[in-house]
A and B are shown apart, each in its own frame.
Chain A
Amino acid sequence: MNPVNYLYLAALLFTIGAVGVLIRRNAIVVFMCVELMLNACNLAFVTFSRMHGNLDGQIVAFFTMVVAAAEVVVGLAIIVSVFRSRHSASVDDAGLMKL
């Protein structure tokens, strides 16, 4: 199969993720969408690795996974503690830092 198709898939996933980040209000969903975008990037990296015949893309994909894992840990912790104090997971409600 033509590897370019994987790229189309990656672009599609990325767009879905991006739209999700933009239009959803629930922090958890926004978070999932961010993950979706990261994974779309991973897919693109792996595809490029395959297309160029070297391992650089795969290495970067591992990095991304590690970063994503760390991000999940910190991000979920923040969301949980915000939910506990405000009883809401809506990102629009958390506007306290705004002047």
Chain B
Amino acid sequence: MDNLIALLIAAPLLGAAVLLCGGRRLDKIGHWLGTLLAASSFVIGLVLFADMLGRSADDRAMYQHLFSWIPVGGFQADIAFQLDQLSMTFVLLITGVGTLIHVYSIGYMEHDERRRRFFGYLNLFVAAMLLLVLADNYLLLYFGWEGVGLASYLLIGFWQHKPSAATAAKKAFLVNRVGDIGLSIAIMLMFTTFGTFAFGPVLESAGETSEGKLTAIGLMLLLAACGKSAQVPLQSWLGDAMEGPTPVSALIHAATMVTAGVYLIVRSADIFNAAPDAQLVVTVVGAVTLLFGAIVGCAKDDIKKALAGSTMSQIGYMILAAGLGPIGYAFAIMHLVTHGFFKAGLFLGAGSVMHGMNDEVDMRKYGGLRKYMPVTFVTFGLGYLAIIGFPGLSGFFSKDKIIEAAFAKGGTEGWILGAVTLLGAAITAYYMTRVMLMTFFGEKRWQPDAEGREPHPHESPKSMTIPMVLLAFGSVFAGGVFGIGDRFVTWLEPVTAFEHGHPPISAGAITSATVAVMVIGVGIAYLQYGRRPVPVVAPRGSLLTRAARRDLLQDDFNHAVFVTGGTHLTRSLVYVDHSLVDGVVNGTAAGVGGLSGRLRKLQNGYVRSYAVSMFGGTAVLIAATLLMRAV
């Protein structure tokens, strides 16, 4: 059974290889092949899951050692896999949601002449993401980590003919690389501290080294997580990444890849548990991002960018929970899974709307779409209720637990974190209600586009609606299935350990407060966007709104410092290289040339003068010899 693990990765990898190298012959069947291989990976995942459930809780981890990857002295990196409950959760999420999105893409990308390649990239992504969660050591994880970065790069820039898409893809890769520095330094630190970087030995002996070392490792891992999971200060790429096709946004930039940072932190639980300072920083990053993303989400008129802000904010919740230690790990993962369902569903819904609206993304040009797209409306609506934490739906269970855990952190920190998570819940309710109202309610506001084509909103084909329906099911029920009776916590406990948090106020009070702030958020949004007509041209807005539309100016800062500053730096270095470094050499050469020009004058072409110099030289030599002898 253990040997099936490699097959999980091999299936989509084979798909990627065949689709990308296969050429035009495969254009007709490429998308079916890609979907089939993703689905077969899901089936293998289910088989392994069934097998895992059949064993006792402590004996569920499976291992497979393929071969030795980089054996150099004490540095031993293996291609080896570890499938435990945590990895299993991710495998099912990745392959399950992944397969649905493959199916959705069949319809969504139907008119794209490069559809085969799109499926090749999607398969590549699934393979790399599975490698990331199945690796049994940090270096192999890094392999998958960069692999998903590559797939993300290729997919964001899929419509490369648009300069904006190409720029967004490059930006995503670069910002991620900054995070990757963190991961590579963390691995180096592990190697010099423990002599290995395999999960088992590192995590087991984490307690044996100094707290300073562990804090350093933890902070470096956090840097990596910030890059991949779009956390402040490396969040700027996620909004731009929406340039990619919508299924990509749903799969990579909502459900799976961006949550890899959460996985990394939860996987390294033992390191963080022993480094409270690092944990504190993790929670702070999570808290800041959850507010940052939420505020940005409130101001965006682009439906995908609003959802991207929301993704950032929700991952902020997860990171915050992961920073709380054993009281939060399981809830971080639980929210990650439920978020995977409802956010993927929301994105697919947004894609369906765009599909019917000539790829218009500005919500101010939607309005009243519920009549035209009933299935999209219902599935999007269920996702909406799930994300704002409507009681009984999945978001409610997972988010409520995180808020509880935040309070349970204890002390002033606990109160602050709890308050931030509550505030975040209110803003979430506000911006999601805004998206919902602007898109599906009110009067129709669309107009003919520049070429005079009037959008004819229509429901999307079956291949697109079926995945949306299935994800909506997940959004509604997943939370209940996981949350009631602590099933999910029990399932993960052997891997992440679990402690019951004890919040300073009763759980019931927190739940009521959560529901109350949600109602307030929905109410404010309704007053602003439900009662009054939405202007087609965005009003100027307050200072905060304007800043939020520009991603709270963080991107402008990046541009001013790194892009403009970097350009000047490279330009001046090119100049230095040409004038100074090379100049020294050329100057020497010119000096030698000048000297030789002068010496050349001595060659006057008269044999006599050459003879004089010969005689003179000989005389001097003889004189010198005699003189030396005499002395």
Contacts and interface: CB of A to CB of B under 8 A. Distances in A.
Contacts of B603: 98-99
Interface stretch (B120-128, B317-325, B607-615): B607-615
A1 interface: no
Nearest to B597: A99
B604 A91 contact: no
A22 B611 contact: yes
Contacts of B611: 21-22
B612 A22 contact: yes
Contacts of A92: 605-608
A98 B605 contact: yes
B600 A18 contact: no
B600 A91 contact: no
B479 to A, nearest CB: 93
Interface string A12-32: 000000100111010000100
A94 B605 CA distance: 8
Of the four ranges (under 10, 10 to 19, 20 to 34, 35 or more), the interface on chain B belongs to 10 to 19
B623 to A, nearest CB: 16
B605 A22 contact: no
Nearest to B618: A18
Contacts of A18: 615
Interface residues of A, number: 13
A95 interface: yes
Interface string B583-624: 000000000000000001001111110011001000000000
Contact of A22 (B600, B604, B615): B615
Interface in B192-229: none
Interface in A19-69: 21-23, 25, 30
Nearest to B608: A22
A16 B514 CA distance: 121
Interface string A68-99: 00000000000000000000000110110111
Interface string B485-502: 000000000000000000
Contact of B600 (A30, A94, A95, A99): A99
B616 to A, nearest CB: 11
Nearest to B606: A92
A43 to B, nearest CB: 19
B605 A95 contact: yes
Contacts of A91: 606-608
Contact of B608 (A23, A94, A97, A98): A23
10 contacts: A18-B615, A21-B608, A22-B611, A22-B615, A23-B608, A91-B608, A92-B607, A94-B607, A98-B603, A99-B600
Given A92-B607, A98-B605, 13 more contacts: A18-B615, A22-B608, A22-B612, A22-B615, A23-B608, A25-B608, A30-B607, A91-B606, A91-B607, A94-B607, A98-B603, A98-B604, A99-B603
